[in-house]
Amino acid sequence: MTKSAALPTPTVHGVNRVKEILGWYNGENPGVLANLARMMMHGTLGYTGKMVILPVDQGFEHGPARSFAPNPAGYDPRTHFELAVEAGCSAYAAPLGFLEAGAAEFAGQVPLILKVNSSDSLSRGEPCPAVTASVQDALRLGCGAIGFTIYPGSEERNIMYEELRELTMEAKSVGLAVVVWSYPRGSGITKEGETAIDVVAYAAQIAAQLGAHVIKVKPPAQNIMQAEARKVYEKQKIPVGTLAERVSHVVQSAFNGKRIVIFSGGPAKGTDEILQEIRQIHKGGGFGSIIGRNSFQRPKADGLHLLRQVMDIYLDR
Catalytic residues: 216
What string of H, E and C letters represents the secondary structure of 44-110? CCCCCCCEEEEECCHHHHHCHHHHHCCCHHHHCHHHHHHHHHHHCCCEEEECHHHHHCCCCCCCCCC
Residue 53: which of 260, 317, 280, 197 has the closest Cα? 260
199 and 228 in contact (C-beta within 8 Å)? Answer: no
By C-alpha distance, which of 57, 101, 58, 60 is closest to 82?
A: 101
Q: Are strands 51-55 and 130-131 parallel, antiparallel or unpaired?
A: unpaired
70 alpha carbon, distance to own chain's centre: 23
The phi and psi torsions of 119 (rounded to 5 degrees) equal -120, 160
Angle value at C-alpha 91, between 88 and 94, nearest 5 degrees? 125
Q: Residue 261 in contact with residue 220, Cβ under 8 Å?
A: no
